[in-house]
Structures are given as C-alpha cells and as structure tokens.
Structure 1
C-alpha cells in the first residue's frame, strides 16, 4: 500500500558489472514508479551526445589537392583512403591536450594498418584496421589533425577553420557504440512496484563505458544548473566549489525540529542523537539497529528525513561528510564545555 509522502523515494543502490573489455552494465534502484524511465531516457540520449572521444578532423596529403584526387602508386583512390582514415579510432595520450597535429611518412612496398600510426602522441584503438597499400616506388606522406570533442561534426562545418592545404573530414567523436536500457520491477520494503534501471553500454575503446556514463551524468547536471536560481536543491556531487558553497545550517539543527512523536524523540535521545546531520549520516542498517527505536519510530524518522531532502541511506551529503562531522563535533564540544 502506498503511503502519503511529500517527496519521492531516494534510490540508494548502485552497481557496475563488467561484461567485457569495452562493455558494462550499470544498475540503479529502487525508483518509484515513473521515475526510472524519466531519468533513463535523457541519460541514454546524453550518452549519444556528450560522451567525449577523439577523431581526425583534417588531413593533408603530399601531392594531393582534393579528396577526389588519386595518388600514383597507391592502390586506393584518395576518397577511399580518407574513408579508411575516418574509420580509425584514436586517443590522445596527453589527457589535457585537445588537439594534435601529427605527420606520417611511409615508403613502399607495404601495407599500412592502424598500428602503423601509433606513436608517443596518440594511441590507436583499432590497430588491425586496414588503411592503404603502396607500391615499391611510392612514398606516402600525410599529416593528420586529431581533436577531442563530443557528438558529430560534418566536414562542411569544419572547412572554414581548416588550414590551407588540408582536407576537412567528417568527425564522429562519440565513443559510444551502443547504449540500451531497460526498466525492471524490484521489491522494496515489501512493495514490488518499485523500479530498477539497467543500462548496458558499449564503447569503441577510446574511453570506458563507465567514463562515458560519467560524461552523460555531468552533462545532465550542467544543463540543469540553469535552474539553480529558482531552487535551493541543486546537484552537490561534482566539483569542490559546489561543496564549499553548501549550507550546513539545516543539518546542524536539533532533531526536535523534525516534529517527531514523543516515542521517536525519546528513542533518539537514548541513542545520543541530537542533530539532524547525525541522522543524515546514517545508513538504513544503522537506523534499523538503533536500540530502543522500534519499527514505527524508524518509519517516522525515515519519512521525516526524506521530506526535508536528506533521506536515510542516501548519498546527498557524501561529498561534504567530513565537514559535517567536524561541525557537529565542534557544537557538541562547545556545549559540553559550557
């Protein structure tokens, strides 16, 4: 039977399973009915829009003036050679670098594969990919510009900024090859109507599935931050600057502010719990194991904490846990010294 509450249940469980080198399953639960798909659908879209990857954005080939040209002594036409280059998946080794310009030189006869492009600047994710074949009397010299980015950028949009002599390339940055989700029912507090999100994410190897999911989460928080001015509840898990701006005041108030029944208040007093922050730091296991606090009192306390936005067992305060503990200890010490 559903209870009357003023806030939705805060999911507390989260797991990651490896399904292979570049594939992972991410699970989160329990969500109230409707909340799982509300979060899962935009996250899936953001996985396809905001995951950070690398792509060749331009190429300059010695002796070649345009992409429909040909080169003497090379088996492939330039257009096919460029397609093979666009299919290559790179990774810039210096994580702080957003752009690298790298030159290559090959002398025939030989077959050129992705592994031949790896060096101390870039890593080649698909080293076995075929690129070109050149004859004995042929030399192939070309320069690639490799950039870090998100999504897809057509060559037409890159031509204006492409240096003279270079051919702009369609840049497909997104490293996510497949992302699917499903919603499953899960039992929570004897209620089988709660939901679980199950994501399965596959990347091309430029970044891990977990990092791709982090990119999507960060993008969601960043996009939603435009609404921070109209609410006091904003994401508090990313960035030290956000942590420093958090107001601990509500958590330093007495548990009496929760308006609990006498029985519940006495139970907390007997357990030496004086401040709301102490409850916010507790797990569901902790509160269920408090002495002299029965099931009805646990339910009352849990509902009260959920209503003020600090659910028992939630992760709302993880990022400033140490600071909260320090403040509570300071208050108790000051109180004891009076």
Structure 2
C-alpha cells in the first residue's frame, strides 16, 4: 500500500567504479520516480560545458607570418601543424596562473610528438600524438600561450586578447570528452519505482572523471545559490545539502549488518529498530528498556556501539542529530 509522505525521499548511496584512468562510473541511488532525470540532465550539461581545462590559444613560430604559411624543412604546412597542436592536451604544473607561455626549439631530422613538449611547466596527456616532421636543415622554434577556460572559444574572439605576432587558435578547454547517463528502476522495500543514475564520464586525462564530476556538482550548487538573495534559506541552506555529514552516512547502517547475535537482533527488530542511528539517538535508559532485551543482549549491543565509536548515551552534535532524524524518517517512511 502506498504511503503518504510530506518530503521527497533523499538518496542514500553513491558508488564510484573506476573503469580506466580516464573513464569512471558514478552511481547514485535510490531516487524517487522522476528525480533521477531531473538531476542527471543538468549535471551532464555542466560536465560538458563548464569543466575547466587548459588549451593552447595562440602560437608564434619563428619565420612564419600567418597560418597559411610554410616553414622550410618542415613536412607539414603551418595549417596542419596548428591542427596537430590543437589536438594535444596539456596539464599545467606548479602554478596557479590561468595563463602561461612555453617555448620550444627543435633542430635536425626528427618526428616531433606530443611527448617532446613535456617540460617542467607542462605535461601532455596524449604523448603519442603527432605534431610535425622536420629534416636536418630545419630549425623549428615556437612559443605557445596556454590558457585555462571553459567551453569553446573561436579564434576570432581570441585575436584581440593576444600579442600581434601570435597566431590565434580555436580553443577547446573542456577536458571532458564524453558523458553518458543511464537511469534504471530499482526496488526499495516493496516499491519498484525508485531509480538509480549511472553516469559514465570520460576525460582526456588532464583531470580524472571524479574530479570533473565533483567540479560539476560544485558549479550546480553555486548557480543555485543566487536564490539566497531572494529567499531566506538560513534554515535549509544549500551548503548543508551539498555534503551529508560522514557521521550520518555511517549511522544509517542497517542493524542486520552489525553481526549481532540472533537474540539481540530479534529484540531490536521486533521493536521496530532498523538502523544504527536509532540506537545512538537513544539514552542508556531507553536502550535498556527495549522490549525483551536481556542483560546479555544489552551488553552485546553496548560493546558493539562502543567499537563503532558511539557508546551508549553518546551525545551527537545537534546539527548532526537533526539531520540524522530527518534521514531516518525518510528511510522508514
């Protein structure tokens, strides 16, 4: 029979599955019907559009005047060299600056790959990417301006932001290559209409998928904070909802997972106590007065609570206790 509630169910679990260094799955559940897509779609958009990364925005090549020029001794035309450069992903190390300039010089016959651009300032993420092929008569000297940003900015909009002797480049800042989400139905108690979100996030290696996801969640909450200027959200602040206290997460552990004896478990179960947090919120007298709970069972439960860091009569901070009570009401609704 369907129950009437006055607040939406809050999801309780997040799992991270690392597929590779650049691909991870982030799984969250259970959501009430309709809530999964409501959250998944904007998170995907933010991941794709607002993830920060470094991109080359301009290049200066000694002896080259424009992007349609050529350089003696280099197999590729400058236009091809620029395309190859834009396909290289860069990590910037050891600085908090949003823009840096790096210089390179190559002499003699050589196939130049992305790995050859590694130095104390930058590290490439796709080391085998081809940049250029030069012969023994060529001296290839060039400078790159690397900029941190989000999204895509065409070269026309960059031209006025760089020195006149640099060639502007189309800038692709996002380190996120692909985001897919799937929504699956799942059973919660006797209700089969709850939902699970499975995000699959792929990056180019500049940042990890989990770092990109955390950044996207932060952006979502920062965008929502504009409503603080209109509404009094002091009692239900966005800051409180961004991260559930670790104590609350541990206290929603089910009693059946505590490895209690059958006698102790049955006493708690018959009294309707399903979660560790319910015991922690009780006073010593309340625990002792649980129906059919004998001294041996009380001693066992007391030892278990002590081992978990919540001895009988332990007093939770009120902010955590109130959050825990709300969580338990939702879980038992």
TM range (shorter): 0.7 to 0.9
Q: After TM superposition, where is structure 1 displaced by more than 4 Å over at least 4 residues in a row?
A: 278-281, 286-293, 326-329
Structure 2: which 5+ runs fail to align?
258-264, 279-314, 321-333
What is the alpha-carbon distance in structure 2 between the residues aligned to residue 56 and residue 113 of structure 1? Answer: 16
What is the alpha-carbon distance in structure 2 between the residues aligned to residue 141 and residue 173 of structure 1? Answer: 24
What is the alpha-carbon distance in structure 2 between the residues aligned to residue 157 and residue 226 of structure 1? Answer: 29
Which residue of 2 is the match for residue 261 of structure 1? none
What is the alpha-carbon distance in structure 2 between the residues aligned to residue 18 and residue 328 of structure 1? Answer: 34
Q: Compared with structure 1, are the counterparts of its residues 192 and 49 closer, same or farther at alpha carbon in structure 2 (3 Å cutoff)?
A: same
CA positional deviation for 1:110: 1.2
What is the alpha-carbon distance in structure 2 between the residues aligned to residue 22 and residue 95 of structure 1? Answer: 23
CA positional deviation for 1:98: 1.6
Q: Secondary structure at the match of 1:140?
A: strand
What is the alpha-carbon distance in structure 1 between the residues aligned to residue 72 and residue 138 of structure 2? Answer: 7
Q: Secondary structure at the match of 1:221?
A: helix
Counterpart check, 1:230 vs 2:192? no
Structure 1: which 5+ runs fail to align?
244-277, 303-323, 330-338
Counterpart check, 1:185 vs 2:185? yes
What is the alpha-carbon distance in structure 2 between the residues aligned to residue 85 and residue 237 of structure 1? Answer: 44
CA positional deviation for 1:97: 2.7
Contact 2:268 2:274 in 1 (8 A): no
Name which of 239, 264, 271 aligns with 1:294.
271
Q: TM-score, structure 1 length as denominator?
A: 0.73
Give per-residue Cα distances to partners, 1:38-84, cap 9 Å, x unaligned. 00000011110111211101101111111111111111111110000
Q: Compared with structure 1, are the counterparts of its residues 36 and 98 closer, same or farther at alpha carbon in structure 2 (3 Å cutoff)?
A: same
CA positional deviation for 1:235: 2.2
Q: Compared with structure 1, are the counterparts of its residues 32 and 327 closer, same or farther at alpha carbon in structure 2 (3 Å cutoff)?
A: closer
Counterpart check, 1:167 vs 2:191? no
CA positional deviation for 1:192: 1.1
What is the alpha-carbon distance in structure 2 between the residues aligned to residue 21 and residue 211 of structure 1? Answer: 12
Which residue of 2 is the match for residue 11 of structure 1? 11
Give per-residue Cα distances to partners, 1:247-303, cap 9 Å, x unaligned. xxxxxxxxxxxxxxxxxxxxxxxxxxxxxxx999842526997959833x879x99x
What is the alpha-carbon distance in structure 2 between the residues aligned to residue 280 and residue 20 of structure 1? Answer: 27
> Counterparts in 2 of 1:152-301, with a 5 A limit?
152-228=152-228, 229-232=230-233, 233-236=236-239, 282-285=251-254, 291=268, 294-295=271-272
CA positional deviation for 1:15: 0.2
| Count of residue pairs brought into register by the alignment | 270
Q: Secondary structure at the match of 1:202?
A: strand
What is the alpha-carbon distance in structure 2 between the residues aligned to residue 110 and residue 88 of structure 1? Answer: 18
Which residue of 2 is the match for residue 112 of structure 1? 112
Contact 2:57 2:171 in 1 (8 A): yes
Q: TM-score, structure 2 length as denominator?
A: 0.74
Give per-residue Cα distances to partners, 1:16-57, cap 9 Å, x unaligned. 001112111110000000000000000011110111211101
Which residue of 2 is the match for residue 48 of structure 1? 48
What is the alpha-carbon distance in structure 1 between the residues aligned to residue 95 and residue 60 of structure 2? Answer: 25
CA positional deviation for 1:183: 0.4
What is the alpha-carbon distance in structure 1 between the residues aligned to residue 34 and residue 106 of structure 2? Answer: 58
Q: Secondary structure at the match of 1:30?
A: strand
